[in-house]
Amino acid sequence: MDPAQPAAPPRTDPAQEARARMVDALRRDGRVRSDTVAWAMSAVPRHLFLPDATVETAYADSAVVTKVVAGVALSSASQPSMVAIMLEQLDLHPGQRVLEIGAGTGYNAALIARLVGASGAVTTVDIDEDIVVAAAGHLVAAGYPDVVLVTGDGALGHPPGAPYDRVVLTVGSADLRPEWIAQLAPDGRLLLPLRVRGSQLSVAFDLGADGLLRSTSVRSCAFIRLRGAGAGAEPVAALGTDGWSAEPADPGTPVPDPDALRAAVDRPGTEEPLGVRLSAADVWDGLGLWLALGEPRTLRLVARGTAAESPAAAGLVAVAGARATIALPGTGGFVALVQDDAGGPARMRCHGDPGCDAVARLGALVDAWVAAGRPHAADLQLTAFPQGCAATPAAGDCLVELGSATLLVEYLDPVA
Which residues are annotated as catalytic? Answer: 75
What is the spatial distance between Cα 289 and Cα 376, in angstroms, rounded to a whole number?
Answer: 8
Cα dihedral sign, 279-322-79-220: positive
84 three-state secondary structure: helix
Burial of 94 (0-12, 13-18, 19+ CB in 10 A): exposed
Indicate the helix (H) or strand (E) that contains 228: none
Q: How far is CA 68 from CA 27, 71, 388, in A?
A: 32, 6, 39
Indicate the helix (H) or strand (E) that contains 351: strand 347-353
Q: Where are the beta strands (DSSP E) in 208-331?
A: 213-220, 237-239, 244-248, 268-273, 299-303, 317-319, 322-329
**Residue of 135, 130, 123, 72 whose CA lies nearest to 99:** 123
Q: Where are the beta strands (DSSP E) in 70-183?
A: 72-77, 97-101, 121-126, 148-151, 164-169
DSSP single-letter state for residue 266? T
